[in-house]
Structure 1
């Protein structure tokens, strides 16, 4: 077992423990003004993240038009981020500042266990979205995931996430010290292998570098397919709209992935360095570095709703419907008007107009088709011949 009183072993090796010194003396006391600033910064994350991600979940689940494969994964991503922000951010800050664990053994285990599971679920959801976009654009003729299959994939993601994080739960422990209590990971010691280092290296690969590599390859192929050639000038309006819509979705998800990668990179570099150079992390300034790195990582949970609002008109309408009383009707129309029934009506109207055009050109000059009198006394065209060409696609 790791020596409980060794300062480097009690340091937060997983990002959720913040005891920088396992002796009874706390050398990392901060002035009140600095603690206040950090408290405002961390609490802001919780407010923005929980409120924004809850609204994202509501927009998708409360509007039938929004229930797509991509959006189901966005629901899973929003849930994981909101939960991690609500259950871990403030507790992490309190422990980092006070170096005293007030919350008992059960929450110590949950506090060490849940962030790994939530991060894994988040990045796997983004990877699933990238895979779905890749299949939809590069292989459009292959069958897409159904809603049932999507839910099954989400369930598998969470099962794998819980299994990956289980060692953090199993080896978590609390130890009373003179004047305070510490929450830490009591890793087992083996003569031939360093289980702790192997675990953290594997976790970093699985929750960061490997998924980002997969998403990078997928979005590179999708970007080449969507942006390699210009839209033909004589293409149908429906084709142009579809292509532009796909580009917008890909742009939004690339921004989401890049934001996640930028926020979590310092975190993973920080804790990988701690595994191999622990002596550096005994300096007094390291607490401020830790608080900054952890704030940046946890802030990734609050950016996605802002990105959705800025880059997607449907999400923007949903946020306006929740937070803006000035134009709720316009926002509701954006989310609800173009339902499948509405689209079928538009297609029928388009077909009817095409039919009338074809029939009118088929009538000889000087002739006029005999009108049919409807029940209300108006005249209607009696020609019902099918059009020569069918419209390509629907709105």
Structure 2
């Protein structure tokens, strides 16, 4: 969002055609990869019954937020930043300022919900997990909160005709002061706070899954589910770290330019803005790539989608990944807990037997010593 007469659009800088062409290719690549990847992610989840788990419903919501932002805002962001002129009218000006913040909020708090769900499933396995209904309610609440937080951008957005062009901006009541304060609130609520929550939850989950020793008498079922949970957590940590890296320069940019308003007159600020926005928008295209690399079921689903390609081979194990359902999604946590408790019980039983054996040996030695002494 831009305050009137401030930011990279307040001063119109003419770019060389080759720069515009390079930036255009970069932004188009983000849009195409994000749309294709997130559409495939949604298809894999919706078309395969085994993929309809709580975590994957959240990933579906994440894919919707990313795909919609890539389609509705990425090209417009590039055109406005490169040309410095608004061509799309007042209505889309309001939507253009409003929706990226709403989608960003929905994305990061969807990831936070996944972290909380993983935390409850692994740290407190005896407590009930999110059901499908609760998951849908959480998603609706996340989008509701996103709309509330982003609404001021829609409400205060306006267009203004200046010599030879039109600007789209946010007409805050106190101009730059309100804009800076809003960016601080956004950075805290939509970046720092959820990242801190996810760092804490995934740290505790990591200690539980990797730090604790595996019982020696663990069942094969327990070990298999332990590995599956480790893979899911590893994948989500990569997703969160990628998101954090992509959006950090964006928040830093608006805070720094808010503190030093003279930077908006710097001729290279347009290139900095284009780079920062590109990196932020590129976050919408990485998740499907991460899923494909780190999750065998998503990888099998993507292979099925592209099985018409001569160089894509769909193996029998890939088919089994999508067809066989070993556990119902809502029972998976309880099954993991049961096998975990069974393994712990076996280990304790073994320890008791060993302790009794040691006690018997000591008792025998004492008896022998008494006989020798007598």
Under a length normalisation based on structure 2, what TM-score does the superposition of the two structures give? Answer: 0.83
Structure 1 residues 161-197: Cα deviation after superposition (integer angstroms, max 9, x where no partner): 001000000000001111110000000029xx94332
**Corresponding residue number in structure 2 for 1:121:** 106
Q: Kindly indicate whether residue 171 of structure 2 is the aligned counterpart of residue 182 of structure 1.
A: no
Match of 1:53 among 38, 49, 62: 38
> What is the alpha-carbon distance in structure 1 between the residues aligned to residue 3 and residue 108 of structure 2?
34
Kindly indicate which of the two structures has a greater share of residues assigned to helix.
2
Deviation at 1:230, TM superposition (A): 3.5
Unaligned runs of 5+ in 2: 332-341, 344-374
**Corresponding residue number in structure 2 for 1:373:** none
Q: Kindly indicate whether residue 182 of structure 2 is the aligned counterpart of residue 199 of structure 1.
A: yes
Deviation at 1:236, TM superposition (A): 1.2
Aligned length: 327
Structure 1 residues 301-324: Cα deviation after superposition (integer angstroms, max 9, x where no partner): 000000000000000000000123
> For 2:73, what is the secondary structure of its paired residue?
helix
Q: Report if the CA contact (8 A) 1:65-1:339 is conserved.
A: no
1:55-70 mapped onto 2 (5 Å cutoff): 55-70=40-55
Q: Kindly indicate whether residue 29 of structure 2 is the aligned counterpart of residue 44 of structure 1.
A: yes
Q: Report if the CA contact (8 A) 2:3-2:169 is conserved.
A: no
**Corresponding residue number in structure 2 for 1:320:** 303
1:161-180 mapped onto 2 (5 Å cutoff): 161-180=146-165
> What is the alpha-carbon distance in structure 2 between the residues aligned to residue 30 and residue 105 of structure 1?
26
Match of 2:320 among 316, 333, 341: 333
> For 1:115, what is the secondary structure of its paired residue?
helix
Which segments of structure 1 move beyond 6 Å, counting only runs of 4 or more? none
Q: Report if the CA contact (8 A) 2:183-2:251 is conserved.
A: no
Deviation at 1:281, TM superposition (A): 2.5
Q: Report if the CA contact (8 A) 1:117-1:162 is conserved.
A: yes
Q: Report if the CA contact (8 A) 1:20-1:287 is conserved.
A: no
> For 1:188, what is the secondary structure of its paired residue?
coil
> For 2:304, what is the secondary structure of its paired residue?
helix
**Corresponding residue number in structure 2 for 1:109:** 94
Deviation at 1:37, TM superposition (A): 0.7
> For 2:130, what is the secondary structure of its paired residue?
coil
**Corresponding residue number in structure 2 for 1:83:** 68
Q: Compute the RMSD of aligned alpha carbons.
A: 2.1
Q: Kindly indicate whether residue 247 of structure 2 is the aligned counterpart of residue 250 of structure 1.
A: no
> What is the alpha-carbon distance in structure 2 between the residues aligned to residue 63 and residue 322 of structure 1?
12
